Amino acid sequence: MYKVFVKDIPIILSTKKNIGKQYTAIPLKLVNFKGLIKKIIKGKLIYINLYHKSEEKLEKFLRKKLPVVEAAGGLVYNNKREILFIYRNSKWDLPKGGIKKGEGYEKSALREVREETGVKKLEIRRFIDKTYHVFKRNGKFKLKITYWYEMHTVYRGPLVPQQEEGIKKVKWKNFEKSQRALQESYENVKLLFPKEYLTTHPNDRIS
pLDDT score of 205: 38
- The answer to whether residue 100 scores a pLDDT higher than 60 is yes
- The answer to whether residue 83 scores a pLDDT higher than 70 is yes
| Residue 164 C-beta-side C-alpha neighbours within 13 Å | 2
How many helices (H) and strands (E) the chain has is answered by 5, 11
How far is it, in rounded angstroms, from Cα 116 to Cα 71?
14
| Dihedral pair phi/psi, residue 8, rounded to 5° | 70, 5
pLDDT score of 197: 74
How far is it, in rounded angstroms, from Cα 201 to Cα 191?
11
- Tell me, yes or no, if the pTM score tops 0.85: yes
pLDDT score of 201: 42
Q: Is 59 exposed, middle or buried (0-12, 13-18, 19+ CB in 10 A)?
A: middle
How far is it, in rounded angstroms, from Cα 141 to Cα 136?
4
Query: Is the Cβ–Cβ distance between 182 and 200 less than 8 Å?
Result: no
CB atoms within 10 A of CB 143: 18
Length of the chain counted residue by residue = 207
All structural domains of the chain: 2-65 (no CATH), 68-205 (3.90.79.10)
How far is it, in rounded angstroms, from Cα 112 to Cα 103?
12
- The answer to whether residue 7 scores a pLDDT higher than 60 is yes
Query: Is the Cβ–Cβ distance between 70 and 97 less than 8 Å?
Result: no
- The answer to whether residue 14 scores a pLDDT higher than 70 is yes
- For residue 23, the 8-state DSSP code is S
Q: Apex CA 196: angle with CA 191 and CA 199, to 5°?
A: 50
Give the mean pLDDT of the chain: 92
